[in-house]
Structures are given as C-alpha cells and as structure tokens.
Amino acid sequence: MANSAQARKRARQADKQRAHNAAQRSEFRTAIKKVKKAVSAGDKSVAQRVYDDAMSTIDRIADKKIVHKNKAARHKSRLSAAIKAIA
C-alpha cells in the first residue's frame, strides 16, 4: 500500500484511469461485435452503415493508445473484407 501522500494520489489516479480504459476497450469490442452481427445477417447496406460507425470508434480508441494502432488496423481490415464478401 502507498505510504506517502503522492503515492496515494497516484494510486487513486491509476484506478480511475484503469476503469476509463476498460470502458473504452469494452466500447471497442462492442463496435466490432455489432459489425460482425450485421455481416452475419447478410444485409450489405446495414453492415456498411454499422461499419462506418464502428470505424470512428476504433480510430478514436487507437488514437488514445488504448489499443495499438496495428490492432485497430487489423480489425478494420478484416471487417471491411467481411463486408465486401457479402454477395
């Protein structure tokens, strides 16, 4: 446990930031799941609309370095390919 006032404050700040980052990662995962669900439904126009919304979320979270930019790019690429594969 932190003994100095400075260390106690840093521990409080770390807890708050960890909770915020966890919420952001959850939002990232939810955005991906929404696109996958739309793709599995088979409607390309709906999937494209959901994909566009998810891209802004994914980019925003990657810009804040909550997830690595390459991970974000990988998910964007795979989701895009899934949408293009819809007949």
Q: Which CATH number characterizes residue 79's domain?
A: 1.20.58.110
Q: Which residues make Cβ contacts (< 8 Å) with residue 45, sequence separation at least 6? A: none
Report, as an integer, the average pLDDT of 41-56: 95
Q: What values do phi and psi take at 83, rounded to 5?
A: -70, -40
In this prediction, residue 83 carries a pLDDT of 96
pLDDT tens profile 36-47: 999 999 999 999
Look up the pTM and report it: 0.86
Domain count, the chain: 1
**Domain coverage including residue 20:** 5-84
Which pLDDT band, with edges at 50, 70 and 90, does 1 fall under?
confident
